[in-house]
Every structure is written in C-alpha cells, then in structure tokens.
Amino acid sequence: MVCQRTPAIRVAVAAADYVLESPLNVFLRSAAATAAVLGAVDSLAGASASTAYLVADINTPATATAGQPFKMNVTVTGPSVTFAQSWDITNTLPPGITAQGATLSGNLLVINNAIPTQGVLTISGVPTKAGTYNFTVDAWQNTNRTGSVTPGSTSIIVIGNSGTAPAIVSQPAIKTVDAGTIVTLSVTVSGSPAPTFQWKKDGVPIAGATGSSLTFSPVKLGDAGIYAVVVTNSLGSATSSNALLTVNPPLPAAPVITIQPLSQTVAPGGAVTFGVTATGSNLTYQWQKNGTAIAGATASTLTLSNLQPGDAAYYTVVVTTSGSPVTSRYAQLVVDTPNPGRIANLSVRAPAGVGGQSLTVGFIVSGGGKSLLIRASGPTLGALGVPGTLPDPILQVHQKINGQDVVVASNDNWGLDPNAAAIAAIPGPFPFLAGSKDAALLLNVDSDRTALVNDVNSVVGVTLVEVYDVGPGNSPRLVNVSTLNFSGTGDSVLIAGFIISGNTPKTLLIRGVGPTLGSAPFNVGGTLADPVMEIHTTINGQDVVVAKNDDWGDEPNAAAAAAIPGPFALNAGSKDAALLITLPAGAYTVQVAGANQTTGNALIEIYDIQ
C-alpha cells in the first residue's frame, strides 16, 4: 500500500509511527518492533512489509465539541493481523468519553474485546470539558495481551461549547401545607443552552417530573418528603438545595349553609324565629346581632318574643365544625306594622354607544297598566361630577306588536315632552337641569317594553337610565327589570341598582347571564364568558356584599331557581350567575364582572317572584 505523507496533518506518534489522513480513513501506522518511544515523527520510508495499521474511521487528531455526541471506531489492518482480540489505552480520554468494554487500572485502560471476530474498538460519548487529550492505543493479537502489538498515538481536541453551565438562581422553598390543597415547588435557573430538569424525591428521580416546577394538585399525605431538582445542559449540571415538603392531615370540610336565615318584618309585641340549615359534622352555632354574639344563642334557630324597636337589627349565625367557620347572610328584622312593597326602581349607569350598541333596559309590568317614569340622564349627570357623559341622549321605548318591533314612544330633550311638568313634579328622582338635553318619558305600561338609549350625534358616553314605578299600589307592579350592556373592569363593570319599597322582605331571582346569552337561540356576540355577580347594600353606613355567586349551579337552591316559570332557562353546567334570594326592603346594586378581569356583554335580570 502506498500512502503520501501530508506534513500539515501529522501528529506525534510512537517512534517510526506517523498519522496519515485520507479522505476515507486515518491510519495510525507502526513498525511492530518500535512501539516504546512516543513523540517522534518519522516517514514511511523503510517500513517493513509486515507492518500492521491501526485504522480510525474519522480523521485524527479527532475534533469534538463539548456537549455534542462523539464516536470513533478503531480497527487493525495489515498483512499479518486481521483483527485485534485485546486493546490497551494509556493516558487520558476526554471527560465524558469512554472506550467500549474498558476497565481502568491506574493510567492503563484495558479493553477485552466483546466480539473478537470484529476486532473493533469504539471510543464514544459526550465530552463535557474543552481541551486537548493525548492517548495511546495498543492492539494485541490475543486476549491475554501476548504476542505482537500494534500501537498508535493520537489526540481528541474538544472545542468549548458557547454558552454557560446551569446555575440555580432561586431554590425550591421549604413548605408546610394541608393535604388536599394545591402546592408547587419551583426553581429559577440560568444557563445556555437552556437546561433540562429532573426532580427527585428522597434522592429518587420522579418519572415525568421534568419541568422547572413540580405541582401537586391536590397534595397527598404520601407526597411528604425531601425534594431537589437536577438541571443539566451540555456544559454541566447543578443540583438544587433540598426542599422539605411537610403535608399535614386535611382539615375537616367547612360547613355548607343550604338554607339561609330570612329577613322578616314583625309588628311590635310579636315573635320571630330565625333558622339555618347546614351540612357538616359536629356543627356548632353562634347567633349575632349587628355582629355581636348573643349570649346563649347557640342553637340552629333563634327565637325572639315580645319584640320591641330595640330588637330591630341585622342577625347572622356563625356555623362551625372543627374546620373553618362560615357566617350566614344577613337577616334583617324590622319591628313595625308590615307594609308590603314592590320593585319601585331600576337604574343602570353605563356607557352607551360602545361598538355602536345602545344601552338597553327592559321591564315588564304584570296585572294591568302602571304609570312608569323612564329617564336617560347625560348632561345633568355630568353636572353632578360624572365624567364623559352623553351630551345629548335620545330615549326610545320599543314594544313587540303583532310580531314586529315598534317604537311606541321617544324623547330627545325632556323639557319638550308634553308631560314635562308632571315629570318634574315626581318626588324621588334627582331633578334635571332646566333646559338640559337629558331625556324622559312618562308612560302607562301594561306588559313588556324595552328602552334604548343613544346619543343624537352617535357619540359614546356614560348615561344613567332609570325606570320608576310611580303609580299607586302593588298591583299592577313591575315584575321584571333587566339591562344588557358591556361589562368592563374596575369602574366599568356592569352595575344595576334597584329599590324594594315598603318594609317587608321580597323574594327575587337575580341573574347575571353571559354564556347562555351567547348560545342559540340568542347568539349574542362577545358575551362575558364567566360572570361573577355580587349584590351590595349599605348596612350601618358600610357597603356590604350581602350575597355573591359565580356559577349558578353551585347554589344550594339552584334547582328551585331553575324551576321558576317565566325566565328563559340557563344552560346546564354553564358559568352564568344566579341567586334566588329574599331581601329586606331597601336599595341594592347588582354588579356583574368577568372572572379573572375578563370583559364582554352581559345581561342583568331581576325578577319579582313573590
């Protein structure tokens, strides 16, 4: 075999040895009798015919990159050797690189070929550290390493990978939690390339736990232990500090109040009983009057007799298990001659004209005709300090007649309406400014109507739409009031106010509808995906949330609410909100906002079902 010498690619080999690269392979060539001295470079001239060759399948010195797989196969060829049965490697292989089947003793790496008929030495792995690593390979013709030997010396040059080894920036925290809760262990790391993660519990890798965080949802008693995470990239690895996770036995479930105490109006000298029904184990009760515990009132019911004006108050009951306590809703006791009332007012303050949409308010009168005052305030509202109001609202009242939508009344400027003097004389509503461009109508209504409000010049602005029952008696009366509008965030959530007249409690169905409104047959676009509804009132000078609902099906009386005739059915399992609730006479606001700060169109409905 004739090989041309290529000085530019020679490396140091044993005396009389040299390396010659070809496009196909590399020969680490040696005269069999001159294997002891390393470092000299000789020529091919004078090599004997019995010379054996070490043949590598890649060019040497071999080049590898830290963090990247490397593999080199070495065989023996020559006229007197067809394969090697044993191999020796002296000096140093790069960290991360091994020889197949090797065992190391001192600086001597001894490889007994597992498949002697092939005579192949495989040097492979993933190098982890840059540098130049010189080593010598000796091939023996038999497994006990006697007989002729074929040596060759070469190098593997490992090029440093760009980037940085992983480092833990923030360690997983030690945590103590209750079973059944959700807990997350996490780390923040640096490193390039991006590291991989492997979490361990008590030193044992957790299958599938290969993210920067480890979440237990929910955590169990058996999850208690010591956790750590190993982060790795091609330049190295780092192990976090240990994080002890302690899991306490679960707390007993908090009681659930299924029947709330109800507000009542009782004449002086009479008696009243408040009651509560709750689920849970080992329940205890403590009744309160205006937030102060009543001595001895520790049963599920509270009876008061010979009522006097001093007994009038807001009553609640705290129901407790060995877990968390739960406080009931407020039940107001009015000590007075009962005076049944009705829904006397609905008011909605919201932007009109958003997306070209009118502010829409609906109302239904049952039992005959009733006189209603309907107003749309813009300029006067602005004079009261509300910014961005409609400069010139126009109010239209619509009715379905023979299946057709008909505008049955409208007003631009309230002072131009024939009933302007009567409108101004109605007690209760704040007065409009003389000559203002606010709108108002005084109508006799005997069924359902819809009021739409826009600006004459199609601008967007805030308006207050109000519907007042100004006729005498409770029959006929308003049995439904509603508003459809956009609900934003913060001060822009959808709010509707209403007033219950008289002094006796009234049972109402109050709903905040989004998802059902967006489905067939309504198909309203851009509806609120998950409405959260709150009912507010003022108690002892403080704004109080008297009731709240997220998903209507979670209410204990959801089935009773769904069975009420009249309102359209909410989709089963939907995230619409609804409350079937008894409220004492007074003023309330209903707020409907989107869960997680979401926005969209929503419908607020208030039904008088008593």
pLDDT digits (tens, 9 = 90+) for 162-214: 678 899 999 999 999 999 899 999 999 998 889 999 999 999 999 999 999 99
Q: How many domains is the chain partitioned into structurally?
A: 5
Domain boundary pick from 112, 129, 159: 159
Domain boundary pick from 227, 248, 269: 248
pLDDT band of 310, cuts 50, 70, 90: very high
**481 found inside a domain:** no
Looking at the fold, whether 578 and 603 belong to one and the same domain comes out as yes
Q: Is the pLDDT of residue 104 over 80?
A: no
**479 found inside a domain:** no
- How far is it, in rounded angstroms, from Cα 601 to Cα 196? 44
Q: Is the pLDDT of residue 250 over 70?
A: yes
Domain boundary pick from 448, 474, 500: 474
What is the pLDDT at residue 144?
63
Q: Residue 240: which CATH number?
A: 2.60.40.10
Q: Considering only residues 491 and 168, tell me which one the structure prediction assigns the higher pLDDT.
A: 168
- Residues in contact with 427: Cβ distance below 8 Å, sequence separation at least 6, in sequence order: none
- Give me the mean pLDDT over the 58-83 stretch: 78
What is the pLDDT at residue 46?
26
pLDDT digits (tens, 9 = 90+) for 232-241: 987 789 999 9
**216 found inside a domain:** yes
* Residue 584: both structure tokens together: 């004492």
Task: Quickly count: other Cβ atoms within 10 Å of residue 9's Cβ.
Answer: 14
Looking at the fold, whether 182 and 226 belong to one and the same domain comes out as yes
Looking at the fold, whether 214 and 153 belong to one and the same domain comes out as no
Q: Is the pTM of this model over 0.85?
A: no
**483 found inside a domain:** no
- How far is it, in rounded angstroms, from Cα 226 to Cα 211? 17
**511 found inside a domain:** yes
Strands 149-159 and 62-65: parallel
- Residues in contact with 33: Cβ distance below 8 Å, sequence separation at least 6, in sequence order: none
- Give me the mean pLDDT over the 332-337 stretch: 97
Looking at the fold, whether 17 and 151 belong to one and the same domain comes out as yes
DSSP state letters, 80-135 = S-S--SEEEEEE-PPTTEEETTEEEETTEEEEE-SSTTT--EEEEE---S-EEEEE
**296 found inside a domain:** yes
- Give me the mean pLDDT over the 132-144 stretch: 76
* Residue 78: both structure tokens together: 């020559």
What is the pLDDT at residue 171?
96
Residue count (the chain): 610
Domain that holds residue 274: 256-335
- How far is it, in rounded angstroms, from Cα 111 to Cα 173? 47
Mean pLDDT score across all residues of the chain: 84
- How far is it, in rounded angstroms, from Cα 319 to Cα 348? 36
Looking at the fold, whether 362 and 286 belong to one and the same domain comes out as no
Q: Residue 438: which CATH number?
A: 2.60.120
- Residues in contact with 121: Cβ distance below 8 Å, sequence separation at least 6, in sequence order: 73, 74, 75, 84, 87, 99, 100, 111, 113, 137, 139
What is the pLDDT at residue 145?
63
Looking at the fold, whether 433 and 459 belong to one and the same domain comes out as yes
- Give me the mean pLDDT over the 45-60 stretch: 60
Looking at the fold, whether 135 and 18 belong to one and the same domain comes out as yes
Provide the residue type at 401 as one letter.
Answer: I
Looking at the fold, whether 511 and 566 belong to one and the same domain comes out as yes
Least confident span in 44-48, 276-280, 404-408, 421-425: 44-48
Looking at the fold, whether 152 and 19 belong to one and the same domain comes out as yes
Looking at the fold, whether 19 and 155 belong to one and the same domain comes out as yes
Looking at the fold, whether 330 and 354 belong to one and the same domain comes out as no
Looking at the fold, whether 150 and 171 belong to one and the same domain comes out as no
Greatest Cα pair distance, the chain, in angstroms, is 132
pLDDT digits (tens, 9 = 90+) for 399-420: 999 999 999 999 999 999 999 9
SS3 of 7, please? helix
What is the pLDDT at residue 330?
95
Least confident span in 155-159, 245-249, 306-310: 155-159
**482 found inside a domain:** no
Closest CA to 17 of 132, 123, 120, 136: 136
What is the pLDDT at residue 146?
62
Cα 170 to chain centroid, rounded? 23
**480 found inside a domain:** no
pLDDT digits (tens, 9 = 90+) for 557-579: 999 999 999 999 999 999 999 99
562: region left, alpha or beta (phi > 0 left; psi from -120 to 50 alpha): alpha
